[in-house]
Structure 1
Amino acid sequence: MANKEFKIPPVSFPAGIPAPNLPQRRVPNPPFQPNSSIPFMSFDIGSAAASTSSGPIYTGPIGGSGGGSANFEDEEPLLDELGIHPDQIWSKIRSVLNPFRVNHTIHKDSDLSGPILLYMSFCLFQLLAGKIQFGVILGWIVVSSIFLYVVFNMLAGRTGNLDLHTCTSVVGYCMLPVVIFSALSLFVPQGGVVAVAIAAVFVLWSTRASTGLIVSLTDGGDEHRGLVAYACFLIYSLFSLLVVF
């Protein structure tokens, strides 16, 4: 198809008639030129870099005190910070091994780290015997400590100075004979006359040791030695029944 050409005559204005006023285009300002009506704050990169480089820079240790680095050699051992003293625990355990000459002076500083160790050992030997008694043993320990604490303070009256922390520590350390009995019961038939006779020996051992410690660590406990010994005998008899049966 041939392209058709349309001839449009040119528009001409007479000499006496002026051309219509056409709108003039505004020349856009570049985006980096600020408006005169808005204040503009200039930022000089060179001056900022110079001021930064001229300031002092701290290069010392972070978190240190006194301007010196931490010296880990002066820190105490972790067990001492937690209140666990292996030498003291071992000394208390050795003192219970001789029920006739229990050294009560080292038991004045009561702690619970040694009793917890003996409790866990007792639970472990019971587990090796096929008895899962973690909850039972823990419950009886708490009840036994509270029971002995209440009984002694009722007997001693106002002169009783046995606190619950010391009572729990004494009951725990005197659990050592029962723990030894639970270890020996792995090689002895359970429920027999031999097991009951061995249990009676270890119960008397624990009873004498705990009674001697409580009487020595408190004031006025010597007057009620028999009743304190009876309460301790009941406590360790319960634990020995867990081993026998």
Structure 2
Amino acid sequence: MSKDFNVPPVIFPSAGNPNAIPQRRPTAPFQPSRSSNPNIPFMSFDIGSSPASTSQFNPISGGISANFDDEPPLLEELGINTKQIWHKTLSILNPFRVKPDLHEDADLSGPFLFLMGFGLFQLLAGKLHFGIILGWVTVASLFLYTVFNMLAGRNGNLDLYRCLSLIGYCMLPIVMLSAAALFVPQGGVVVFVMMGVCVMWATRVCMQLLVELASCGDEHRGLTAYACFLIYMLFSLLVVF
């Protein structure tokens, strides 16, 4: 016995049929649909049609900046002020007119350059003293910091960072001595005379800066000068011998 099933007829859409189901046209990949919100930005992958973008993301403001004009220089971000280093160097060159106001803001960029220059001139003389120079500067700063604050007592306000900065900047005469010693015979009278002049020069400048920048230093001027003399005499012996 057979059973009949009612199957609806299949109607194919045509151009003249008003009840035809509209066909959806395929869209290209990565393209926005026409029904999407036009206010939502979309990145176009068509390189030829999209204009060149010159904007860049600024992580500080969280937005997009047009250029690097508002960015500070790299040396300023690293805390290196070349103009300040230059003015401090010029103040060291005149031992009779020291300008303590230039050294109120301590830094280690200038001293590091002077120490590296000192080590380079020693290397040209056949002496590898980079480690010795950095170690002696650290020990000398601790020595002068301890001596000065013990002399000043409770009123001493000399910090270790400023002490290291002053000793490094006042190393400029010793650096000049190491450069001039390359052209002078070793063990002669000339090199010893130059050593004495440069040591007294560095001692006077360092003592004057310490007295002017730290409180209670004027009454201990002699002992402060003696401590500075020992430090720079020690460095000058590296040049002579």
Common fold, TM-score beyond 0.5?
yes
CA shift for structure 1 position 193: 2.8
Q: What whole-Å deviation, never above 9, does each CA across 1:45-100 have from its counterpart, x for those lacking one?
A: x7xx8xx6233344597744465334301111111111111111010001011111
1:97 equivalenced with 2:104 (yes/no): no
Does residue 210 of structure 1 match 2:175? no
In the alignment, what sits opposite 1:129?
Answer: 125
Q: In the alignment, is the contact (CA less than 8 A) between 2:57 and 2:64 conserved in 1?
A: no
Cα deviation for residue 158 of structure 1 reads 0.7
Aligned identity (percent) is: 62
Partner residue of 2:76?
80
Distance 2:62 2:194 in 1: 63
The 1:72–1:130 alpha-carbon spacing in structure 2 relative to 1, beyond 3 Å, is same
Question: Over residues 195-214 of structure 1, what are the superposed CA-to-partner deviations in whole Å (9 max), with x where a residue is unaligned?
Answer: 22210111000000000000
Report if aligned partners of 2:57, 2:63 keep a CA contact under 8 Å in 1. Answer: no
How big is each residue's C-alpha offset from its partner over 1:182-236, in whole Å with a ceiling of 9 and x where there is no partner?
0000011112332222101110000000000000001110010000000000000
Match of 2:238 among 239, 242, 245: 242
Partner-residue secondary structure (3-state), 2:215: coil
Mapped to 2, the partners of 1:86 and 1:208 lie a distance apart of: 25
User: Displacement of 1:145 after TM fit?
Assistant: 0.8
Q: Distance in 2 between matches of 1:197 and 1:205?
A: 12
Structure 1: stretches of 5+ with no match in the other structure: 1-45
**TM-score (structure 2 length as normaliser):** 0.77
The 3 A distance-change label for structure 1 pair 107 and 67 is closer
Cα RMSD of the aligned pairs, angstroms, is: 2.2
Amino acid at match of 1:228: T
Please identify which structure carries the higher helix content: 1
- Corresponding pairs, count: 200
- Per-residue Cα deviation, 1:14-54 (whole angstroms, up to 9, x for no partner): xxxxxxxxxxxxxxxxxxxxxxxxxxxxxxxx7xx8xx623
In structure 2, relative to structure 1, the CA distance for the partners of 1:66 and 1:134 (3 Å cut) is closer
Residues 113-124 of structure 1 mapped to structure 2, 5 A cutoff: 113-124=109-120
Q: 2:113 is aligned with what amino acid? A: L
Q: Which runs of 5+ in 2 are unaligned?
A: 1-23, 44-52
Bigger Rg over Cα? 1
- Structure 1 counterpart of 2:64, one-letter code: G
